[in-house]
Chains A and B, each alone.
Chain A
Amino acid sequence: MVTTVKSRGYRVFQGINAVILTGVVIVTLYPFVNIIARSFSDERYIVSGQVNFFPRGFNVKTYQLVISDPMFWTNYRNTVVYTVVATAIAMVLTTCYAYVLSKKHLKGRTVLIWVAIFTMIFSGGLIPQYVLVNSLGLTNSIWAIVLPNAISVFNLLVMKAFFEGLPQDLEEAAAIDGLNTYGILWRIVLPLSKAVIATMVLFYAVSFWNSWFTAFLYLNEQELFPVTIYLRNLIAGATGAESAGAVMSEVSAAAANIQAVTIMLTVLPILAVYPFVQRYFVSGVMLGAVKG
């Protein structure tokens, strides 16, 4: 048997596999490396297309430039506030609903489940949603960002699956000891669910941190923008300058540099926590897949 496993064909395959996977790693990482290099480079080298893996004409003056823009910090702070508030609300709503859905004896449970799942299959669409949010008067407020996406059905199903896996006996014992449903949820279930709560907080936080479209749609005042819109407006401005053609040299050079720096600053928190939280995400996705 061993001979078949370690045959020549298999070694060739392993070699080819290594080459392909190395290629995948390079292709995946290169854009990051290049952006880092650009963010520290002198714009002259960027324009002449000489920045690849390493910065040319190393400097941090574009970082200083971006950091000294008060609007950047306002928008950055908005992103933090929106992420924290939205995640908190989303967690409360999702946990409550998921916990109820996990109670198999509950009358009407299937209907409650389908209320959620149906929205995955059919959605009201952009325009009615837009009209609704406007007519509720949420435009230009944090609520337009926070409320319309307060529950992700995928996350809901993940939590439901997790709660279903908890031992029923504990909850029954607590009920006999006189805890009511709220007490059971708060004192028994949640402490047992730290893993899934951490995962869900991460899922929500990253999606709110990254979101831009709701802000783009419902916020008109610059002071309210999250940092993703700050970045989007930079890109939009830069493409405008490039299509103008002749004047592109200096404008877009500076723009390219500023863009690289803004990308770095926006992505930095995610890159910083990524190594630590990555395995939670993976287990969360698998949990969702098992019973989703």
Chain B
Amino acid sequence: MNTRGMSTTLETPDTREVRPATGRRRSARPGTWRHALRRDWQLYSLVILPLLFFLIFRYAPMLGNVIAFRKFEPGGSIFGETWVGLRYVEMFLNDPTFWTVFTNTLILGGLTLLFCFPLPIVLALLLNEVRNRSIKRFLQSVSYLPHFLSMVIVAAMVMQMLAIDGPINQIVKALGGEATPFIQKPEWFRTIFVSSEVWQTVGWGTILYLAALTTIDEHLYEAARMDGASRWRQIWHVTLPGIRPTAITLLILNLGTFMATGFEKVLLLYNPLTYPTADVISTYLYRMGVESSSMSYAAAIGLFEALVGVVLIVSANFISRRTVGTGLW
């Protein structure tokens, strides 16, 4: 990916704006690096530490991915010792567990997207219809709350809710069923994961939609009413188009995190009994790399995962620019 090429697409007229001429500007030929450095060296000095952060903790690991093609020795160079080519790639392509976790990743990511993307829109539309301001504020405060919890706490709560003696099993028993150890059952994992994800994120997801809703011109609704549009028609023809840019931006962002869906939560909630449905690429590579110390093998899987993620986000952005004219860049 060419940084320069992308920067030109980012440049909107206002970023080209030049600061009004001050006395200092005349000291060197404007537009040269020497001039810029002389004038703004104090500004540049401020970026040194943050740039070091990005180089060490973000870009060095990107380069570190070469260990996917090199044999890594514990205690040796972080870039590996000897080239082994695509050995590790072939290894995971022939690894049946890899295909299981790949499928699980797609299913879990797909289900999460299917529920966690549209439900905030629905909730925002419902909240938007609440006319009493203080009730509305109360509803919003309550719905944001789970967002502020640590994943550990969410996982602990999920386990408490689903425990043999927990509330869900009380309901099951009240309805005449048998108490089930849900956390131990692979067939329940996806339901548990997605519903807890909804619980945690749906309220927070409404914020941007509610903001977008307030920007829709009241006159559009009036005009629609004049034309005899029912409430549903108004939602369909005025409200939904009004929040479309927001929805598309969030959809692209969701697609970008698709491959990494719920890594922390899966890691906290799964156990060997539920691996058949719960184990995803990121948890598998965690076990391979950190627990079994097969760094190169795990890095190869991780690189594959990241590349799929990039392809998803770039193509989503491309499609959205082509079809609706907005994108992240």
Contact = CB atoms under 8 A, between A and B. Distances in A.
A100 B43 CA distance: 6
A74 interface: no
A127 B78 contact: no
A150 B57 contact: yes
Interface stretch (B17-25, B97-105, B109-117, B186-194): B17-25
Interface string A151-179: 10000000000000000100010010000
Contact of B299 (A30, A128, A267): A128
Interface stretch (B6-14, B236-244, B318-326): B6-14
B152 A228 contact: yes
A94 B50 contact: yes
B14 A30 contact: no
Interface size of A as a range: 35 or more
B106 interface: no
A64 B152 CA distance: 22
A247 interface: no
Interface string B236-257: 0000000000100100000010
Most chain A CB inside 10 Å of its own CB: which residue of B14, B22, B148, B246? B148
Contacts of B306: 122-125
B7 A114 contact: yes
Contacts of A126: 282, 285-286, 289-290, 298, 302
Contacts of B43: 99-100, 103, 106, 181
B230 to A, nearest CB: 8
Interface in B161-195: 161, 163-167, 169-170, 173, 179, 181, 183-184
Contact of A217 (B60, B159, B290): B290
Contact of B61 (A48, A104, A124, A259): A124
B23 to A, nearest CB: 9
Contacts of B159: 235, 238-239, 259
Interface stretch (A65-73, A129-137, A193-201): A129-137
Interface string A236-271: 001100110000100010001001101100110010
Contact of A104 (B17, B141, B150, B282): B17
Interface in B39-85: 40, 42-44, 46-47, 49-51, 53-54, 56-65, 67, 72, 78
Contacts of B302: 125-128
Given A93-B53, A105-B18, A232 B152 contact: yes
Interface in A189-219: 206, 209-213, 217
Contact of A286 (B72, B156, B211): B211
A114 B3 contact: yes
Interface in A79-111: 92-94, 96-97, 99-100, 103-111
Contact residues of B: prevailing secondary structure: helix
B163 A256 contact: yes
Contacts of A109: 15
Contact of B42 (A21, A97, A147, A182): A182
A144 B218 CA distance: 52
Contact of A131 (B78, B169, B264, B268): B78
B183 to A, nearest CB: 7
A13 B249 CA distance: 30
A242 to B, nearest CB: 7
A107 B204 CA distance: 37
B51 A115 contact: yes
Contacts of B62: 122-124, 128
Interface of B: 1, 3-4, 6-7, 10-11, 14-15, 17-20, 22, 33, 36, 40, 42-44, 46-47, 49-51, 53-54, 56-65, 67, 72, 78, 123, 126-127, 129-130, 139, 141-146, 148-153, 155-157, 159-161, 163-167, 169-170, 173, 179, 181, 183-184, 199, 203-204, 207-208, 211, 225, 230-231, 246, 249, 256, 264, 267-268, 271, 273, 282, 285-286, 289-290, 295, 298-299, 302-303, 305-306, 309-310, 313-314, 329
23 contacts: A25-B143, A29-B142, A35-B160, A96-B49, A97-B46, A106-B40, A110-B7, A119-B54, A119-B58, A122-B310, A124-B58, A124-B306, A125-B306, A126-B282, A126-B286, A127-B295, A181-B43, A212-B151, A213-B267, A235-B155, A235-B156, A239-B271, A285-B207
Given A21-B127, A106-B36, A119-B59, 19 more contacts: A29-B145, A49-B173, A52-B170, A105-B17, A107-B33, A108-B36, A110-B7, A122-B62, A125-B303, A127-B295, A131-B78, A132-B78, A151-B53, A213-B151, A213-B267, A234-B156, A243-B271, A282-B144, A289-B246
The 5 closest A-B CB pairs, nearest first, are: A124-B61, A128-B64, A210-B150, A181-B42, A107-B36
